[in-house]
Amino acid sequence: MEKCNIVVLDGYTLNPGDLSWDALKELGNCTVYDRTAAADVVERCKDADIVLTNKVPLRTVEMDGLPRLRYIGVLATGYNIVDTAAAASRGIVVTNIPAYSTASVAQMVFAHLLNIVNATQLHTDSVRCGEWCRCADFSYMLSPQTELAGKTIGIVGLGNIGRSVAKIADAFGMRVLAKTSKDASQLPPYITSVSFETLFAESDVVTLHCPLTPDTQHLIGAEALAQMKQGAILINTGRGPLIDEKAVADALNNGHLRAAGFDVLAVEPAAQDNPLLQARNAFFTPHIAWATYEARVRLMDIMLQNIRAFLAGSVINQVN
């Protein structure tokens, strides 16, 4: 039987060199590109039966130029980069990678939160510069030190990641509120389901874990920010467009928000004119919450399971 042709369009973020593509190469004639410009997609994939993409879009125009294409594997959970309806109409299977990064993303939420409330790097830099050596006292603080126990965290969206964040918050002794479509009977006793209005009004920390839809785009805008407590903290490890970046930057700069932590922005890589980049007490990681070694190993394993199932005629994790 003739081997299928597999093309990976943007493999570098998944595998910058610490993983192996060998198992994928056993499944077909495999070509891996670190990065692919949109203009090069059709040329690189013209003979492909299977295309794997993380962030390179595959729309109608690309599919029209790829008559052999039968399978698109998205190397992420979100799959909005693929026109799934166009793929379905052409008999092209589209799959994603669900629930591989839950623990890693939840961990990043608290990495940002702990950075804000304890400022360990700020103090480390100060000590390295000799300020502790010159200090008249045995202890000094460059920022307010805040205990999380007893504070209220509001979680928008209770999927796998939201539930994991809630569990960690409970372990810190935080009161946990959530905006969720789940019935209260489905929730553990430490999570209280509330309205948006209550969540915004009572939360010391608001963290976003809902999908990006027309209803949730710019969910955190001027109106929501006005409802939030003075000095609240905002964390976004979900999707960049969940927030109105100008409105959040204004709330940081005028002191209504104490601080905010972002792993995602509306435009990535970050645009130089993004108002958040110059905002007061805004902290960033470059979309790496998903990218722990352990999560990437899981991603690679699920990718291989998806492709093996497709080749065996039993599709799993199909999204179209």
Question: The tokens of 198 are what?
Answer: 């209550």
Q: Is the peptide bond before 241 cis (omega within 30 degrees of 0)?
A: no
Is residue 292 within 8 A of residue 281, CB to CB? The reply is no
Alpha carbon distance 18, 296 (integer Å): 10
Alpha carbon distance 114, 290 (integer Å): 18
Question: What is the chain's Cα-based Rg?
Answer: 22
Q: What is the DSSP track for 127-154?
A: HHTTTTTT-SSS---SS-----TT-EEE
Residue with tokens 């003739």: 2
Question: The tokens of 259 are what?
Answer: 């601080």
Q: What is the DSSP letter of 86?
A: H
Give the active site residue among 239, 258, 296, 298: 239
CB atoms within 10 A of CB 313: 6
Question: The tokens of 57 are what?
Answer: 């879009």
Instruction: Verify whether residue 287 is a known catalytic residue.
Output: yes
Alpha carbon distance 90, 67 (integer Å): 9
Is residue 105 within 8 A of residue 98, CB to CB? The reply is no
Residue with tokens 């497709």: 310
Give the active site residue among 44, 163, 287, 298: 287
Q: Which residues are catalytic?
A: 239, 268, 287
